[in-house]
Amino acid sequence: MSWYRNTVWFVKGLREYTRGGYESASKHFNPADVEVDVAGRSFLVTGANSGIGKATAKEIARRGGTVHLVCRNKERAEVAKEEIVTETGNQNIFLHIVDISNPKEVWKFAEKFRNEHKLNVLVNNAGCMVNNRELTEDGLEKNFATNTLGTYILTTALLPLLEKEADARVITVSSGGMLVQKLNISDLQSENGTFDGTMVYAQNKRQQVVLTEQWAKAHRNIHFSVMHPGWADTPAVRSSMPDFYEKMKNYLRTEAEGADTVVWLAVSAEATQLPSGLFFQDRQPVATHLPLASTHSPPEDEEKLMEVLEEFSQKFRSTSPG
């Protein structure tokens, strides 16, 4: 069935995920949804020095929010921060240098952040697509460490902070690529078979959808959502998917178009009128499975994913300083 899933997903992508898809969908947007003042609210955006993350941070800053940029590369992050401050006039932009693929570092950051700041909205945007199997210093496969475990640790570590606030939200930037993957809990670190970075990334993105659904059930007073930004022209796409980029570069969305639904989910009152735990594309909840694609998982697999990630998480917490 994988050929079927891949073909249906790509045809769907050509129609909906490109710039043309955004232009068509945006005709039905209500501009007033995002014309809001969020001064006094605190937002944390990971992977905020480029692409969707930077575009999101910039739009939130324009609306007066306090924005915490969580980035891996200090030099690029400082340039991004300066650009955001200059373009928006918002001085309440703070920088934190954290490698989301390093679970000990994520724990250390989150515990410090919890003691020093408030948080209304968490945007899990940081991600990577490594095309050859690569291990972190902790022996973790790098895509899994960044996209899944890092997202899990940061979110669960910051839940106590979010629980304190009214209208708390968690938004995770996933991908439509997850539609071609069924949750596979037997090989979370891609140790078996031929390594395909694109499919590993897609599996991680399916895992993020499951995480969002599970968190939404467990934490009723926080609004969780996960979204697909469409196919956007970002540095990550150019570096990780050069062949795809060359074929599609004239049809890709801008970074701001890719970030539009993240911003809508982060600031609009309308987003939280919809149930928690949904998957969004162009400001609308959409299905998490293609028709006839056989990607549904039994509930016990989804629960097992949460258990395994919690075990991983606590293992690294016990060895982290602070």
Cβ-Cβ contacts under 8 Å for 48 (sequence gap 6 or more):
54, 56, 57, 67, 69, 70, 71, 77, 80, 125
Residues in the chain: 322
Q: Rounded to an integer, what is the distance from CA 250 to the centroid of its chain? A: 25
17, 152, 201, 245: which one is catalytic?
201
Rounded (5°) CA angle 83-94-204: 90
Tokens (6 digits) for 122: 């968490």
Spell out the long-range contacts of 140-144 with Cβ–Cβ below 8 A and sequence spacing 24 or more: 140/101, 140/103, 140/189, 141/188, 141/189, 141/190, 141/191, 141/200, 142/101, 143/190, 143/197, 143/200, 143/201, 143/204, 144/188, 144/189, 144/190, 144/200, 144/204
Identify the bridge partners of residue 227 per DSSP, sorted by sequence position. 173, 280
* 245 included as an active-site residue: no
**Active site members:** 201
